[in-house]
Amino acid sequence: MYSEEGKFSIEVCFSPLSWPLHEKSGSVVIVTDVFRATTAMCAAFQNKVKSIIPVAEIAESIAWKEKGYIVSGEREGKTLDCADFGNSPFNFMEPRLQGKTVVMNTTNGTQALKMVKEGNNHVGIGAFTNRDAICNWAIDLQLPVIIFCAGWKNRFSLEDTLFAGAAVEYLLANNDYHTMCDSAIASYELWQRAKSDPLAYIEKAAHRHRLRKMGLDDILEYSLQLNTCKCVPVLHGHELIDLNV
Amino acid sequence: MYSEEGKFSIEVCFSPLSWPLHEKSGSVVIVTDVFRATTAMCAAFQNKVKSIIPVAEIAESIAWKEKGYIVSGEREGKTLDCADFGNSPFNFMEPRLQGKTVVMNTTNGTQALKMVKEGNNHVGIGAFTNRDAICNWAIDLQLPVIIFCAGWKNRFSLEDTLFAGAAVEYLLANNDYHTMCDSAIASYELWQRAKSDPLAYIEKAAHRHRLRKMGLDDILEYSLQLNTCKCVPVLHGHELIDLNV
């Protein structure tokens, strides 16, 4: 399962700090920030948002806002002054957003996206809610896959790693993939520990406690459900669009 | 188990790349490089070696060799030209080494040691073979604990992480410790998956395959046994000495 040759490799990058070790052009990169950016992006596309412009700098958000765009964003879980709303997936379910472009600024997720934009890769957005859809997109491309965990302030994050493990599991079930990457193996193994009850399991995660402290833990149950949507958000120029539309 | 206040924190650093995120002075740092540097160090002290001088640069090894010291060292698993032998734990069991100082140069382990030397910390050497001994030393110091995995070329390494998990398990069984660190939690969880048969489990690790390729996998069974020695190697100036002597 882990060592066969002549197959596409799977790697997991635990945080932006490790990205230079994993980066290689001509790969499929699935970026994940389960709490909360990439889950929110999937929620947005399920709600028929037209596109999302991910930005990393607050100055960029302000500039887009001044041009009349809808802007979401937060730092440390708090809505930015320039933003219309924060990054809870629930904020992206409002009917008024349908057909619109939203500019999203987040603490970790957008930073990771900015890093992968530089390379010559196919970049998709992964969350528990669209695991099968985004993995099937990756499989169709027939290339090595790197799952890029946004992490938390450059640190390893348990929830992002569990998603990575769920994606590794799905990809390894396909005969075209193998992995020799210890972090991919660890992700898979942690997911095996968690999958029977991810919500109870994630109670152990430090980020869970951070979210609770900030009163942002209402999205946990929603965020940990597998395959509640079929969207395939991918980076197209400077925007994310849903290939499933 | 993971969240109580007023206790000493446990953190796990997955690779030298992440060290700046975890580093804090006034901590106990347990450095581990299971395959093979820190297991070899424990084997050396069990064999009554007097001290070990860890070095990171090949030029340093050559300089010590010219001064008449016994020198061990390898790069990519191959014995250095200037070295008397490589870093297999078995090389350190020869009776002629008793009472002697050995200069050790390794790919990953010494590099990690060099990084922690800079801080104002208590630095010990951990391996499966001395888990309880090194953890008891840490507990006696009554300070926060950071377990520093040497990793492999700055990458996450499954075997080092399993040792970290075994150490986290031992420390958490003591009422003075807690952890909010996701990488400590993940290490603990992976160790729970592995502990009933670490040798079979490590077959999954990429490094296992690297060692096999290089014909260096004869040390796996030895290296994965818990508590076969009682040595407590700690950094004292530029040398490692055994506090258990």
pLDDT digits (tens, 9 = 90+) for B19-48: 999 998 899 999 999 988 999 999 999 999
User: Strand, coil or helix: what is B126?
Assistant: strand
Is A182 in contact with B17 (Cβ distance < 8 A)?
no
Calculate how close chain B gets to A202, using CA atoms only, in Å.
10
Chain B environment of A161 (Cβ under 8 Å) = 182, 186
What pLDDT is recorded for position B117? 81
Chain B environment of A154 (Cβ under 8 Å) = 18, 21
B200 contact A CB<8A: no
Q: Is the pLDDT of residue B3 over 70?
A: no
Instruction: Say which of A15, A182, A206 has its CB closest to residue B157.
Output: A182
Task: Please spell the DSSP secondary structure of B156-210, one letter per residue.
Answer: --HHHHHHHHHHHHHHHTSTTEE---HHHHHHHHHHHHHTT-HHHHHTTSHHHHH
User: B155, B191, B209: best mutation site toward chain A, by most A Cβ within 10 Å?
Assistant: B155
What pLDDT is recorded for position B66? 97
Show the domains of chain B with their CATH numbers: 8-239 (3.90.1560.10)
Is B17 in contact with A14 (Cβ distance < 8 A)?
no
Chain A environment of B24 (Cβ under 8 Å) = none
Specify the pTM: 0.94
Chain A environment of B183 (Cβ under 8 Å) = 155-156
What pLDDT is recorded for position A1? 40
Distances (CA, A) of A129 to A11, A39, A85, A245: 21, 7, 21, 17
Q: Are A64 and A102 in contact (CB under 8 A)?
A: no
Instruction: Say which of A180, A183, A190 has its CB closest to residue B189.
Output: A190
The separation between the first and the last C-alpha atoms of chain A, rounded to the nearest angstrom, is 34
| Residue in this structure with the two tokens 């924190």, named with its chain if needed | B9
Q: Is the pLDDT of residue A216 over 70?
A: no
Token duo for residue A86? 């924060």
What pLDDT is recorded for position A140? 97
Q: Is the pLDDT of residue B1 over 60?
A: no
Strand partners, B8: B177
What pLDDT is recorded for position B118? 75
